[in-house]
Amino acid sequence: MNKLNVRKATKEDISLLFDLINGLATYEKRPGYMTGTKQELEYWLFEKNIASSFIAELDGNPVGYAIYYPIFGSFSAKGKVHLEDIFINEEYRGKGLGKEFFAKVANFALNDGYSGMEWSCLDWNTPSINFYNKLGANEETGRVHFDFSKQQMKNISK
């Protein structure tokens, strides 16, 4: 197998990123959740620089993507990253590319000075959970995830 190349995504990759994100939404059985546009994605990733994005390529062909953004732990006073997405197209899974991709993304975070990485996984996604466990990840317990929509933020801000 040829070596996996992982590079930071650029503004010119926006259509590719958009398609790969759609691939993840389909894999997660949530294609209806894909409501963002290419323009919004480009704005947040490349104009606001809110997150770092990466493209995984095999023989020059894109096979996956990852996105992470900085987070801060007040107790530890350390910066970490939240891995929002990591995705390898289905036809490339089971060949060791996921592990290599994950390692290279972790290396980018380390080189950027971050002290750790966290992420979440859908509870039904046994293949991914098994993959993360095989990597030696720690499964966090004792927290419940919450979120607010924009409208809920407006409601509470009144």
Q: What is the 3-state secondary structure (H, E, C) of the chain?
A: CCCEEEEECCHHHHHHHHHHHHHHHHHCCCHHHCCCCHHHHHHHHHHCCCCEEEEEEECCEEEEEEEEEEEEECCCCEEEEEEEEEEECHHHCCCCHHHHHHHHHHHHHHHCCCCCEECCCCCCCHHHHHHHHHHCCCCCCCCCCCCCCHHHHHHHHC
* pLDDT for the residue numbered 1: 54
* pLDDT for the residue numbered 4: 94
* pLDDT for the residue numbered 61: 95
Q: Is the pLDDT of residue 145 over 90?
A: no
* Mean per-residue pLDDT over the chain, rounded: 95
- Domain holding 71: CATH number? 3.40.630.30
* % of the chain at pLDDT higher than 70: 99
Q: Is the pLDDT of residue 92 over 80?
A: yes
Residue 126 — very low, low, confident or very high, per pLDDT cuts 50/70/90? very high
Q: Which domain holds residue 63?
A: 4-157
* Number of compact structural domains in the chain: 1
Residues making up the chain, counted from first to last: 158
Q: Is the pLDDT of residue 13 over 60?
A: yes
Residue 18 — very low, low, confident or very high, per pLDDT cuts 50/70/90? very high
pLDDT (mean) for 135-148: 91
CB 109 within 8 A of CB 117: yes
pLDDT (mean) for 8-28: 97
**């590319």: which residue's tokens?**
97
CA dist 60 and 74 (Å) reads 41
* pLDDT for the residue numbered 3: 86
pLDDT, tens only, 38-62: 999 999 999 999 999 999 999 999 9
* pLDDT for the residue numbered 40: 98
